[in-house]
Amino acid sequence: MAGKKAKGATSKTSRKSIPAQKRAQKDSDSAIEALNSKPNAENWKSALPLIKKSGAKYYRIFYDSGLKDKDNLKNAYAVLYDSSYKRLFKVPVIEMHEGKIVGATKYLVGLKINNRQ
């Protein structure tokens, strides 16, 4: 009987931790989605703690349509990887500041994430 109680107690504790993990994942997904839809300073600042907690170590910048003029930066993005090169997030490399495009790699450098091109 004692073995059954221990087994039941273990399964109850594991059930409680799963929703908390899903909730944290949902929060990070919504913050990253907000950042991708509107890359302003406020969204960057709300996403930075989540990026830091994720364990991101490297990023790589992609330009889908090439880099012929400044407007093509709107389509550029950075993919963040952890130490084993597992893809974590896709974030924009720009920040919209009063209608102007500003580079956002300053946030990644502030997190001490390395660029692996």
- Does residue 92 or residue 7 have the better pLDDT? 92
Q: What is the pLDDT of residue 114?
A: 72
Element (H, E) at 80: strand 77-81
Q: What is the pLDDT of residue 73?
A: 81
- Its pTM stands at 0.68
Residue-wise pLDDT tens digits, 40-94: 999 999 999 988 888 888 988 888 777 777 777 888 898 999 888 899 989 998 8
Q: Enter the DSSP assignment of 1.
A: -
